[in-house]
Amino acid sequence: MKLYDCQMAPNPRRARIFIAEKGLGIPNVEVSIIDGANLKPEYLAINPWGTLPALQLEDGTVIAEAPCIFRYLETLHPEPNLLGRDAIETARIGAWERFAEMNGMGAIGEFFRNQFEPLADRALPGYAGVKTLPALVERGRQRAAWFYQQLEGRLAEVEYLAGDRYSAADITALCAVDFGKAVGLGIPEGCAQVARWHGLVSARPATQV
Ligand SMILES: N[C@@H](CCC(=O)N[C@@H](CS)C(=O)NCC(=O)O)C(=O)O
């Protein structure tokens, strides 16, 4: 098994943290997004969507999409549990994990990609030729503000995003927040609960990847 990875990118980091939390040693193959290696025929033969991460199994099967990599690995390695122990917890973790991807990662990606010159004709991950739209920089900023507001409200009620224990929802939210910090949309002033939670999850050894 191997993980097609890109060290500087937030979505592959979701997979790396999940793998580290499970204590699995899966080798990484670095694919440079900035150099466009993910859009070259060699990588498109592995993942035609050109996105990272992708997990390749021994028989050649490729699993794209971080949440699907989570699901596959948790099915094989149930402990420590990161996706939920019963129907309601699984639904809650799934909802917050999707929220973090769509509204955190999505907003910050929109803000970043639509102003980052080296990706000028690559407005969407993996797809070459989709032009950036400068107006989406401001929209991404506004969406990110809403994301942080939602996180703050939620984390005022619970210790971790999906409740009283760490889960895949925290992994995706952490990767989104750290991506935001790197591109100028860090935790806003006044989001004390998000800062508390960020310190808590960042202290986990598995998140140091
Ligand atoms: N929904 C996908 C998102 C994957 C994604 O957006 N990955 C980015 C890296 S963070 C990517 O592949 N970028 C390629 C590019 O920008 O061309 C997942 O869950 O894995």
Tens-place pLDDT, residues 100-117: 999 999 999 999 999 999
Whether 6 is covered by a domain: the verdict is yes
Which pLDDT value is given to residue 127?
A: 80
Q: Which domain holds residue 117?
A: 87-207
In the predicted structure, residue 142 carries a pLDDT above the cut 80:
yes
> SS3 of 160, please?
strand
Whether 185 is covered by a domain: the verdict is yes
Whether 82 is covered by a domain: the verdict is no
Among 7, 14, 52, 114, say which to mutate for ligand 1: greatest number of ligand atoms within 8 Å of CB.
Answer: 52
User: Do 65 and 99 have their domain in common?
Assistant: no
Which pLDDT value is given to residue 99?
A: 98
In the predicted structure, residue 144 carries a pLDDT above the cut 80:
yes
Dump strand ranges (E) for 130-179: none
**Which residue's CA is the nearest one to ligand 1's atom 17?**
126
What is the rounded CA–CA span in Å between residue 72 and residue 76? 7
**Which residue's CA is the nearest one to ligand 1's atom 18?**
65
For 17-39, what is the mean pLDDT? 97
Q: Please answer whether residues 12 and 52 qualify as being in contact, where contact means their C-beta atoms are separated by less than 8 angstroms.
A: yes
Any idea what the CATH number is for the domain that residue 121 is in? 1.20.1050.10
User: Do 127 and 187 have their domain in common?
Assistant: yes
User: Do 47 and 99 have their domain in common?
Assistant: no
Backbone angles phi, psi at 162, to 5 degrees: -100, 5
Ligand 1 shell residues, CB under 6 Å = 9-11, 33, 38, 50-53, 65-67, 122, 125-126
User: Do 112 and 42 have their domain in common?
Assistant: no
In the predicted structure, residue 91 carries a pLDDT above the cut 80:
yes
Per-residue exposure over 171-193, b if at least 16 CB sit within 10 Å of its own CB, e if not = bbbbbbbbbbeebebbbeeebeb
Which pLDDT value is given to residue 178?
A: 98
For 51-71, what is the mean pLDDT? 98
User: Do 91 and 6 have their domain in common?
Assistant: no
User: Do 10 and 95 have their domain in common?
Assistant: no
Q: Which amino acid is at 102?
A: M
User: Do 117 and 153 have their domain in common?
Assistant: yes
What is the rounded CA–CA span in Å between residue 108 and residue 141? 7
Which pLDDT value is given to residue 155?
A: 98
Closest to 105 in 3D by CA, of 156, 154, 143, 160: 143
Among 5, 11, 108, 116, say which to mutate for ligand 1: greatest number of ligand atoms within 8 Å of CB.
Answer: 11
Q: Which amino acid is at 82?
A: L
Which residue, chain included where needed, has tokens 């991506």? 179
Q: What's the pLDDT band for 147 if we cut at 50, 70, 90?
A: very high
User: Do 68 and 119 have their domain in common?
Assistant: no
Q: Of 34, 49, 76, which residue is a domain's last?
A: 76
User: Do 98 and 40 have their domain in common?
Assistant: no
Length of the chain: 209
Whether 203 is covered by a domain: the verdict is yes
Q: Of 50, 76, 102, which residue is a domain's last?
A: 76
User: Do 101 and 69 have their domain in common?
Assistant: no
Report CA(13)–ligand 1 centroid distance (Å): 10
Tally the domains of the chain: 2
In the predicted structure, residue 163 carries a pLDDT above the cut 80:
yes
User: Do 104 and 134 have their domain in common?
Assistant: yes
In the predicted structure, residue 43 carries a pLDDT above the cut 80:
yes
Q: Of 45, 76, 107, which residue is a domain's last?
A: 76
Tens-place pLDDT, residues 172-195: 999 999 999 999 999 999 999 999
Cα dihedral 176, 177, 183, 187, rounded to 10, equals 150
User: Do 97 and 182 have their domain in common?
Assistant: yes
What is the rounded CA–CA span in Å between residue 128 and residue 107? 20
Which pLDDT value is given to residue 119?
A: 87
Which residue, chain included where needed, has tokens 């004709």? 121
> SS3 of 38, please?
helix
Q: Work out the mean pLDDT of the chain and round it to a whole number.
A: 97
Whether 13 is covered by a domain: the verdict is yes
In the predicted structure, residue 55 carries a pLDDT above the cut 90:
yes
**Which residue's CA is the nearest one to ligand 1's atom 1?**
65
Whether 104 is covered by a domain: the verdict is yes
Report CA(120)–ligand 1 centroid distance (Å): 16
H-type alpha helices, the chain: 10-22, 41-44, 66-76, 87-99, 106-113, 135-155, 168-183, 192-202
